[in-house]
Structure 1
Amino acid sequence: MHVKRVYDPACEADGFRVLVDRLWPRGVSKERAALDAWAKSIAPSDDLRRFFGHVPERYPEFARRYRAELAANPAFPEFLGALAGHPVVTLLFGARDTEHNEAVVLSGVVTDQLHARSRD
């Protein structure tokens, strides 16, 4: 599982490319984004996105709330199933901060869930 800014160039090593933002990133054409999927249904809610506001001090609480949203999101199991069929997945995000964003949280949750599935 990789995490990458959507503004960075696409490459072969990205595998299956999924945008995980609710909003389309500014200044990026669909061709440049080179997406295989746009998973806005599993992106953080508007309220949570506004709460976070990309303030690093709020990140731990944001991550906790986003994990709770994912656990309650009926679209999340389908999203996991779609990813499971790809050997390499890159979650794409638009934020400038590469350490404090929803794709980092989502990557951890997806990795944990897919490993749990493989053990069953």
Structure 2
Amino acid sequence: MSKNDGVRVRRVYDPPEPADGARVLVDRLWPRGLAKADARLTDWCKDAAPSTELRRWYAHRPERFTEFAERYRAELDQDAAQPALGQLRDLAASGPLTLLTATKDVAYSHVPVLLGVLREMP
């Protein structure tokens, strides 16, 4: 994927837009209060999300973000995450892709880390 790859990040609670292309939820847990029909997802890619243990340890504490990002990258390097990463890469290659998360503070979430890993992939 190139840096101008048409991948964007949005909150899953934001209304779908035509420019979204493939809409993929990249959280391990389903977003509270959101009906599946309202999300209009192409897919739900749980295996691209941080492990439950890592998510609980991080607890969205900004002072832990750097270490969280390192640990999350290590999880994404493992074999279990490779099919999910490949699927996201393939979706991005075939058109616009929007990575969706329920996280309130997207800048301190796993999604920018995931986006960075996807952009580094051949």
| Equivalent position SS for 1:74 | helix
Instruction: Provide the residue aligned with 2:85 in structure 1.
Output: 80
Q: Give 1:31 shift.
A: 1.3
Instruction: Provide the residue aligned with 1:67 in structure 2.
Output: 73
Q: Give 1:75 shift.
A: 3.6
The normalised TM-score by structure 1 is 0.88
Q: Give 1:59 shift.
A: 0.8
Contact 1:42 1:73 in 2 (8 A): no
Contact 2:47 2:84 in 1 (8 A): no
CA RMSD of aligned residues (A): 1.2
Give aligned-pair identity as a percent. Answer: 50
Instruction: Provide the residue aligned with 1:19 in structure 2.
Output: 25
Instruction: Provide the residue aligned with 2:114 in structure 1.
Output: 106
Name the amino acid aligned to 1:43.
Answer: A
Name the amino acid aligned to 1:95.
Answer: T
Q: Which of residues 92, 96, 102 in structure 1 aligns to 2:100? A: 92
Name the amino acid aligned to 1:2.
Answer: R
CA distance in 2, matches of 1:79, 1:90: 15
Mark the runs of 5 or more structure 2 residues left unpaired by the alignment.
1-6
CA distance in 2, matches of 1:92, 1:73: 23
Mark the runs of 5 or more structure 1 residues left unpaired by the alignment.
none
Runs of 4+ in 1 over 6 A off after TM superposition: none
